[in-house]
Chain A
Amino acid sequence: IAGITQAPTSQILAAGRRMTLRCTQDMRHNAMYWYRQDLGLGLRLIHYSNTAGTTGKGEVPDGYSVSRANTDDFPLTLASAVPSQTSVYFCASSLTSGGANEQFFGPGTRLTVL
């Protein structure tokens, strides 16, 4: 593994189903983030974690949950998917949550909820 990886690459999901998007980084970064990207709306922060064991809510957290059991992994769970959660999801990480640190992005997961 080099950098930040996400799985699956894409998924089609029936409404009401539970889904976990996986994100793993091998850079030993303390901070991790989940965004969704929708046409015309840019990137919107869903949840973030400044360090292992802590999480926080971003701009659009409803319908999503995260956990940060260790430094490397930051899964995003949709407990009961709805069509409005159709989007491209990006995981990112940064060395710390300080303002000067760039974020490194994964390749994204394209999720379609029918």
Chain B
Amino acid sequence: GNSVTQMEGPVTLSEEAFLTINCTYTATGYPSLFWYVQYPGEGLQLLLKATKADDKGSNKGFEATYRKETTSFHLEKGSVQVSDSAVYFCALYTNAGKSTFGDGTTLTVKP
């Protein structure tokens, strides 16, 4: 079956630090890959996505590139802010309508 493995948290960074959250996947076929963000007490929101190999998704300073050769979709941001503190989920969807989420990585950014 499909699976998503995320870097274990929690991750604590100082403001303006560089962020990487690793995500690797296993899947049959050609999945689409997503990063979602969850702020405290809220549901998940789409952060960015990539639908085919070598695509780069970007939003709000976050980026991730779909690497088929390494089956990875690592999330990066060059300079984090306190407001980026949240839980980040990597996910894959297949055309069969099945979705698989990672366990989530909690990020805390300190001023």
Contacts and interface: CB of A to CB of B under 8 A. Distances in A.
A and B interact physically:
yes
Contacts of B30: 99
A97 B45 contact: no
A86 to B, nearest CB: 18
> A41, A43, A48, A105 — which one has the most chain B CB atoms within 10 A of its CB?
A43
B43 interface: yes
Interface string A53-88: 000101000000000000000000000000000000
B99 A42 contact: no
A92 B44 CA distance: 9
Nearest to B46: A102
Nearest to B30: A99
Interface in B61-111: 89, 91, 93-104
Interface of B: 6, 30-32, 34, 36, 41-46, 49, 51, 89, 91, 93-104
15 contacts: A35-B101, A40-B103, A42-B6, A45-B98, A45-B100, A48-B98, A92-B44, A97-B95, A99-B31, A101-B93, A102-B34, A102-B46, A103-B44, A103-B99, A105-B36
